[in-house]
Amino acid sequence: MTTAQRTRGTVLVADDTDAIRRFCGQALDGAGFDVRLAADGRQAADHLSPHLDAIVSDISMPGMDGLSLLRRVRDIDLDLQVVLMTGAPDVQSAITALEYGALRYMTKPFTLDTLLSNVGLAVTMSRLARTKREALDLLGDDAGTDDPQALAALFDRALTELHMEYQPIVSWRDRRVRAFEALLRSRCDQLSTPLALLRTAQRLGRLHEVGRAVREAVAKDLTRADVPERALVFVNLHPDDLLDPELGGASDPLLPHAWRIVYEITERKALSDLRAVKDRVAILRRDGFRIAVDDVGAGYAGLATFSLLEPEVIKLDMSLVRDVHRSTTKQRIVKSIVDLGRDLKLEQVVIEGVETTDERDALLSLGGDCLQGFLFARPGPPFPVAVGL
């Protein structure tokens, strides 16, 4: 099989034990992967390139160990998935592996099926994350102007015309609406979508203004409209909002509704100023807010955010849902994340982007319960009725 014929992905294997390195290399080669081998962490670091789809690395190696290699990977690539191997598992190395976004932590000896399953999952998740990132990059300049004054005026108008739409999150087991996600909208045509508005706010250095306007709008909707009893409301936060001094405490317009608010961390990017982020999350929890992490299953940043914030709720990336009933790989990923949520005793694992009954039924068979998507309701004014329950 030539490299050009391989379709399963390019995998780098790093291990200082010849027998294990050969076993992994031969097994992956036989399964159709393009394999590169390294005898230690330094050799592996020399092989890092944008063409890699996954790395399988021993933790204990001379010179540069597997955890140091993982940190090097994260310096240059947030999406590349890494599977770590160890013959001597311990809690601290497992914690460090999670903090730096290792996808799996395999204990030696492991079976051929375990190796192939983990590497297949790693390649799939790397490609999903990169596809999503490339799609965002292709969107370019949403506002269509480079004039700073015109851009600022357009942004001001978009803020004044900002409003929220809501989409139900249903519990299939209970046949009821469990929550709503508040979705940012603007009647300003050039900046009508959340992505366009946020990209422009970032260019102008005014991200906090969007977050404040959203929280104010949601607070008004909660006082003006009847919310179903016990229903939670998910409110998106850009990671930079976590450092907004007006978030949390007496200045937060959502404080009177804290018991039903779930602040959802969106945008897959590494969080900065980790100590300040942890302090702010502690304040939010003290006041009764919950935390959710979005896009779990779409790359390193989602996993790292999950480890840092220890959320009550996680939301699966919708790219895992499309045609899930036809993809055994997506089914394995979804089931592993749902099982993780159950093992960690999370309040909810929300699966968004459900559009067909086939997708719904497949997700239910994998243990999913909290579902969101067009199958139940399109986003609308506060608060839409879910159908099909």
Domain residue spans of the chain: 3-137, 145-372
Measured CA distances, 216 to 100, 159, 185, 212, 213 (Å): 35, 12, 14, 6, 5
What average pLDDT does this structure show over 66-92? 83
Q: Is the CB of residue 97 less than 8 Å from the CB of residue 106? A: no
- Rounded to whole angstroms, the Cα distance separating 224 from 233 reads 15
Q: Is the CB of residue 98 less than 8 Å from the CB of residue 303? A: yes
- Burial degree of 8 (CB within 10 A; 0-12, 13-18, 19+): middle
**145-372 has CATH 3.40.720.10 classification:** no
What average pLDDT does this structure show over 150-178? 92
What average pLDDT does this structure show over 89-104? 73
Residue 129 CA neighbour count, 13 Å, CB half: 25
pLDDT of 344 > 70? The answer is: yes
- Average pLDDT of the residues of the chain: 85
Q: Which of 31-35, 93-97, 138-142, 225-229 has the highest mean pLDDT?
A: 31-35
User: Is the pLDDT higher at 307 or at 191?
Assistant: 191
pLDDT at 298: 54
- Rounded to whole angstroms, the Cα distance separating 240 from 204 reads 14
Please report how the helices 91-99 and 66-76 are oriented relative to each other, as an axis angle in degrees rounded to 10: 10
- Burial degree of 299 (CB within 10 A; 0-12, 13-18, 19+): buried
pLDDT of 302 > 70? The answer is: no
- Burial degree of 154 (CB within 10 A; 0-12, 13-18, 19+): buried
- Residue 142 banded pLDDT, cuts 50, 70, 90: low
Q: Would you call 57 helix, strand, or coil by DSSP?
A: strand
For residue 308, which amino acid is it? L
User: Is the pLDDT higher at 142 or at 230?
Assistant: 230
What average pLDDT does this structure show over 208-225? 94
Measured CA distances, 221 to 85, 131, 167, 333, 383 (Å): 50, 35, 14, 36, 9
pLDDT at 6: 46
Architecture of domain 3-137: 3-Layer(aba) Sandwich (3.40)
What average pLDDT does this structure show over 139-150? 60
pLDDT of 77 > 90? The answer is: no
User: Is the pLDDT higher at 141 or at 42?
Assistant: 42
What average pLDDT does this structure show over 92-100? 70
DSSP state of 380: B
What average pLDDT does this structure show over 265-277? 66
Q: Residues 108-129: pLDDT tens digits?
A: 889 999 999 999 988 988 887 7
Backbone angles phi, psi at 295, to 5 degrees: 65, 25
pLDDT of 164 > 90? The answer is: yes
**Exposure string (b/e) for 311-350, b if CB count within 10 Å is 16 or more?**
bbbbbbbbbbbeebbeeeebbebbebbbeebeeeebbbbb
